[in-house]
């Protein structure tokens, strides 16, 4: 885990960006909240806990930089904010997302389901694919379970009143 920060710092250094405590704290926060999809404001509040003097503009600048270095993906789920999603190390593109229209949860699919589709796109549309964004909107497994449970108890209640 610690290595991960070191490697990102190295990457910054290689591209002749300076290693500032603000940048390190921001990367730390992203690593510690890898499963979430934080907005710039979210990151700002979390970074402030370990580096209270940091400014919001610096957080934006750092996230922008990390996006250019392909350390994070800047994604947008249609609410009014950009979210910053850490890439798995060495991943060559953005992972897929499952957005629940019932509870708002965002789950991830780490396996690449688009290999075949990309072949078709390259062949049939002569488009050289560099990256992709794939998001499914629907009902998550938790909300499906909830509905099923409610249906069962409604049935049970109906048996009682008959």
Partner DNA sequence: TATAAAAACGATAACCATTCTCATTTTAAA
Partner DNA sequence: TTTAAAATGAGAATGGTTATCGTTTTTATA
Site of interaction with DNA (CB under 7 A): 13, 17-23, 39-41, 51, 53-58, 60-62, 64, 80-82
Residue from the set 68, 109, 149, 151 that interacts with its own copies by CB under 8 A:
109
- Torsion-angle region of 78 (φ positive above 0: left; ψ -120 to 50: alpha; else: beta): left
Residue 62 vs residues 26, 99, 113, 123, 149: alpha-carbon distances, Å: 7, 27, 30, 37, 45
- Determine if 108 is a binding residue for Mn ion (CB under 5 A): yes
> Residue 12: is it exposed, middle or buried by C-beta count within 10 angstroms (0-12/13-18/19+)?
buried
Sheet containing strand 38-39, strands side by side: 38-39, 82-86, 72-76
Residue 160 annotated as part of some ligand binding site:
no
Helix (H, G, I), strand (E, B) or coil at 103: coil
Residue 95 known to bind ligand: no
Q: Residue 140, interface with its own copies (CB under 8 A)?
A: yes
Residue 72 or 100 having the CB closest to Zn ion: 100
Least distance (Å) from Mn ion to the CB of residue 127?
14
Any contact of residue 54 with Zn ion (CB under 5 A)? no
Q: Is 37 annotated as a binding residue?
A: no
Which one among 57, 103, 113, 145 touches Zn ion, defined by CB under 5 A?
103
Residue set of the binding site for Zn(2+): 100, 103, 140, 143
């Amino acid at each position: 885990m610690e290595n991960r920060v070191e490697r990102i710092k190295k990457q910054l250094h290689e591209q002749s960006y300076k290693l500032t405590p603000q940048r390190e704290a921001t990367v730390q926060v992203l690593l510690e909240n890898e499963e979430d999809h934080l907005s710039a404001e979210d990151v700002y509040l979390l970074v402030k806990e370990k580096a209270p003097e940091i400014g919001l503009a610096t957080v934006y600048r750092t996230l922008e930089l990390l996006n250019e270095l392909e350390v994070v993906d800047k994604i947008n789920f249609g609410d009014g904010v950009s979210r910053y999603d850490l890439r798995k190390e060495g991943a060559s593109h953005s992972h897929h997302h499952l957005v629940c229209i019932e509870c708002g949860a965002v789950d991830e699919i780490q396996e690449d389901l688009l290999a075949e589709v990309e072949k078709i796109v390259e062949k049939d549309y002569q488009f050289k694919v560099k990256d992709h964004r794939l998001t499914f909107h629907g009902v998550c497994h938790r909300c499906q379970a909830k509905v099923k449970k409610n249906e069962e108890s409604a049935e049970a209640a109906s048996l009682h009143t008959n």
